[in-house]
Amino acid sequence: MATNVYGTGSNSTAGANTVVHYYDKAGVKAANEINVYAQWADRKEMPLNMGKTFKISKWLHIYDRELTDGAFAAKGYLTARDIATVTAGVSATDGTGASLLEGSGATNKRSIKKITMTTAFSRYGEMVDYTDEVTMFSEDMIQVRYREELGRLGNRRAEDLIQLDMLATTNVMYSGVATSLATIAANPVLVGTNDAAARVSYDLIRKASRKLVRNRAEKNTEIVTGSTKIDTKTINKAFYAIIGPEIKYDLESLVRNTGQYSEEIAYVPAYKYAGASNLAEGEVGAMQDVRFIESESAVVYAGQGALATAWFNVADTLKTFPYLTSALAVTAAGSTGFTPGVTATLDAYTGVLATTLADVGGATKFDVFPILFPTKGSFATVGLKGYNKITFNAQSPEKIELTNPYGTNGFFSYTMWYAGIILQPEKLLKVLVAATA
């Protein structure tokens, strides 16, 4: 037998063929192309053959209040720091505090609580199929192109899964006087007069930072002291926030008062401090104690805010009328609905309904946009130990089988397992705002 042989290709004396590996490498590279959300996720692993449910335990500090505590939203994760409460907690001798009397027995007993958090693995995958004539007559590198496109698609799916899991946090703030998603940009008197308060503001970002500090969240970056270049800016130690392009549009025009008559732009674009700092993927600017990351894939709660029209009762028929045009983004859900026979009292001066009516189907509503603060240790993705992040599969049209009797059909596919878990909800903050259309 000859010394130099091709064999099956994989056992060639000249070495195994690498073209297929080259194809897969292109797909894997595309599958890691964007990591705007993934860059903030911790990594956990679970061995195979341990079921689909991942569990992790967390001890609650004795001095913490639970997330379900009514005061959590207003005062943060620590117990209320009112001076009278703290003084009582230190000096009380009846067992509710820390002070001990002479000869004290078994008193000031405390209990420790441990909670278990769980998440379940889910499998995802998509495919493209093709005929043998694609490879016979196409002038493109189809093997590479299909893998790259599937890799990019898998990358987007993974980013979306992480984003959706992060947005499930129970730690939420709202713009203006809103108290829920459905009341963003609400104004019971005149639609459109609440625009400024409903958008992102300098003070709202400051309040978000204050809440995270209260919840013992750790800032992501150190102070940027600037550089020797002209017109560079110093940036404070900061949290990161992920925003969509609509929020960035409003941020760029925000100002803060520096005196009785003077104002200055509060937002600092990233190019003014990039030379003195390492930028995160997608970072576009900073303001106060926050550095912003723009994500073109940031989701929108389309048409889930407050009603964007004023309600009038005309001839005993409830209708909508744009009493004042708003500059905020809205979504119209079909025709403006009305319910015949519904009556309401009109304010004699404004002509606006003085009573609150239930929402009528088909109404135009404000869009709501999230600002996400993924601080250190707040969120994690879980991988299967020994299993790749994404796996590519392929079958050539040349393989004859019952479903491919003529050898004319092939396919490419990807598959991946995913699980995400919020480890510390108090340190993962979501702020909901309206935005300029």
Higher pLDDT pick, 205 / 25: 205
pLDDT at 94 over 50: yes
The pair of structure tokens assigned to 327 is: 């500059």
How many Å apart are CA 274 and CA 122, to the nearest integer?
39
- 176 contacts 199 by C-beta, under 8 angstroms: no
pLDDT average, residue stretch 369-396: 88
Per-residue pLDDT band at 370 (split at 50, 70, 90)? very high
pLDDT at 183 over 60: yes
Higher pLDDT pick, 81 / 315: 81
Give the pLDDT of residue 357.
Answer: 42
The pair of structure tokens assigned to 123 is: 């499998």
pLDDT average, residue stretch 108-132: 87
| H-type alpha helices, 119-220 | 132-137, 142-166, 195-198, 202-214
Following DSSP, what letter does each residue of 117-131 receive, concatenated?
EEEE-EEEEEEEEEE
Per-residue pLDDT band at 361 (split at 50, 70, 90)? very low
How many Å apart are CA 138 and CA 30, to the nearest integer?
22
The pair of structure tokens assigned to 144 is: 């590479």
Task: Please provide the average confidence, as pLDDT, over all residues in the chain.
Answer: 77
End-to-end CA distance of the chain: 75
Per-residue pLDDT band at 48 (split at 50, 70, 90)? confident
pLDDT tens-digit map of 61-78: 776 666 677 666 666 656
pLDDT average, residue stretch 77-86: 69
How many Å apart are CA 329 and CA 414, to the nearest integer?
37
How many Å apart are CA 46 and CA 37, to the nearest integer?
21
Least confident range from 14-18, 120-124, 237-241, 406-410: namely: 14-18
Residue 300: exposure state from Cβ atoms within 10 A (0-12, 13-18, ≥19)? middle
Coil vs helix vs strand at 9 = coil
Per the DSSP assignment, residues forming a β-bridge with 390 are none
Tally DSSP H helices, then E strands, for the chain: 8, 21
**Length of the chain (residues):** 437
Per-residue pLDDT band at 81 (split at 50, 70, 90)? low
- 297 contacts 160 by C-beta, under 8 angstroms: yes
> How crowded is residue 191: how many other Cβ atoms within 10 Å of its Cβ?
27
Per-residue pLDDT band at 167 (split at 50, 70, 90)? very high
Longest CA pairwise span in the chain (Å) = 104
């299993």: which residue's tokens? 387
Q: What HEC string does 339-373 produce?
A: CECCCCCECCCCCCECCCCCCCCCCEEECEEEEEE
Phi, psi (deg, nearest 5) at residue 272: -85, -10
How many Å apart are CA 32 and CA 419, to the nearest integer?
17
- 394 contacts 27 by C-beta, under 8 angstroms: no
pLDDT average, residue stretch 198-210: 92
- 366 contacts 379 by C-beta, under 8 angstroms: no
Per-residue pLDDT band at 157 (split at 50, 70, 90)? very high
Give the pLDDT of residue 232.
Answer: 55
Q: Which residues contact 118 (CB under 8 A, 6 or more apart)?
A: 53, 54, 55, 56, 421
Answer yes or no: pTM beyond 0.95: no
Please give the C-alpha separations between residue 324 and each of 347, 350, 360, in angstroms, as whole numbers. Answer: 16, 12, 19
How many Å apart are CA 353 and CA 346, to the nearest integer?
5
Least confident range from 24-38, 91-105, 176-190, 419-433: namely: 24-38
Angle ∠(174,209,299) on CA atoms, nearest 5: 50
The pair of structure tokens assigned to 118 is: 């769980």
Per-residue pLDDT band at 319 (split at 50, 70, 90)? very low
Give the sign of the dihedral formed by CA 304, CA 306, CA 312, CA 313.
positive
Candidates 237, 139, 233, 206; CA nearest to 431 is: 206
